[in-house]
Amino acid sequence: MLFAALSPTGDLIAGLVLAIGFVLAGVAAGVAVFAAIARVEERFEGSPRRGLRIVANTLIAVKWPLPIGIVATSIFIALRFALGLDLVYPQLGDPRYPVAVAILLVAWGAANLFSRLAGAYGRQVIPTSEGDGDTRMADLVGAGVRYLIWFIAALYLLSYLNISITPLLAGAGIAGIAVALAAQDLLSNLFGGVIILLDKPLGVGDKVRIDPYIGTVIRIGLRSTRIRTLDGLIATVPNSRITTNIVVNYTAGTARAFVQVPVTVDYATPVAESRRVLEEIARTAPTAAPPAMELGEGTVQIGELGRFGPIFILTFSARDDTDPLAVKNVVYALAAEAVRSGRLSIAFGRRGRETQEPDMVAMSDGDGDRSG
């Protein structure tokens, strides 16, 4: 004891003064550290530089544990060394208790740090929902990391204090088995969600087919994935079903649609001549079509013999989201120009070729029968 040579009264007064000085110094140091960390948080938390963000997250994680640890240390020094209370309360002289407090403070800071890092990483990896940032999954990941660190720290602390943790582990194991059996489907969907995030077979905004649904992914959640179908309905698909079934992602691949355009020509024109003109149209259509269609060169075949002439089928490949009517508009415009220039003759029923007019070009999907 520092004041063993003084009188009892003087020893007590000096000890109290020294103890108060230690506590006040600790409080002042804790407040100063807290204020400094707050300034760093305000300045660097939103920094685009990754290194600064990590430093800021580390300081923010110890924003409370570090000042409290400083104050707790000053109180411990005041009680044990300034006042000498370890002689009255032997527990203060036990080195295990200061270490236990230090373990709690370190666990607190580590839980804050790793939960923040896990949440920040989750927000980068987890896709966002249509129209609204879905951060709930990232927050859940951060909370899971926090509780896991606290659980490990609690087990280590109990073991350090010579408290048997075997019954606790056994109870936790039995509880875990019971929860797993009771929530088997839920856990299956949760693990399915994790697999989707890691394997990334689909993402928000992708056009996919998950039998029997075809549509656009609008949300990937913990338990399920939501798809907006082609008829505008919202289908909620369990994640376990996605991971155990075939998923066709039209957006990620190079899916193509095939559009067939029928053109009925006149029997009076030789088939070879009509085919030649239509093949020229099939080669010209890709350059005449908008680039967004990604229209490929077409093929020309005779589909059937109609009532007034052979029906040629022009087949084109295009982006899977291309409107077939837009493709037909391009092809029929070229066919109309060929009719106007006299290179192509279109069947018009009984009226014959001599009555043809440019605006009467038959664009039917059937046999070309169209009265004027």
Q: Write the pLDDT tens digit of every residue in 320-349.
A: 777 888 888 989 999 888 888 888 888 765
pLDDT at 349: 53
Is the pLDDT assigned to residue 172 strictly greater than 70?
A: yes
pLDDT value, residue 253: 65
pLDDT-derived band at 100 (thresholds 50, 70, 90) equals: very high
Specify the pLDDT at position 361: 34
The more confidently predicted of residues 179 and 59 is 59
State the pLDDT confidence band at 154, using cuts at 50, 70 and 90: very high
Q: Which residues pair with 311 in a beta bridge?
A: 264, 304
User: 256-360 has which CATH code?
Assistant: 3.30.70.100
Average pLDDT, the chain: 80
Of the listed ranges 12-21, 175-184, 295-304, the least confidently predicted one is 175-184
pLDDT at 74 over 50: yes
Average pLDDT rounded to a whole number, residues 112-138? 69
Q: What local confidence, expressed as pLDDT, does residue 107 receive?
A: 95
Output 146 or 176, whichever has higher pLDDT.
146
227 DSSP β-pair partners:
217, 235
Q: Is the pLDDT of residue 183 over 50?
A: yes
**Phi/psi at 304 (5° precision):** -165, 170
**Residue 217, strand partner residues:** 227
Task: Specify the pTM.
Answer: 0.58
Q: What is the mean pLDDT of residues 87-96?
A: 80
Assigned fold of 193-249: SH3 type barrels. (2.30.30)
- C-alpha separations of 151 from 34, 141, 156, 162 in Å: 27, 15, 9, 17
Question: What pLDDT, on the 0 to 100 scale, is given for residue 250?
Answer: 76
Q: Which of 109, 101, 122, 179 is nearest to 149 (CA)?
A: 109
Q: How far apart are CA 205 and CA 301, in angstroms?
A: 37
Residues 6 and 15: beta-carbon distance below 8 Å: no
- Flag whether pLDDT at 65 surpasses 90: yes
298-305 average pLDDT score = 86
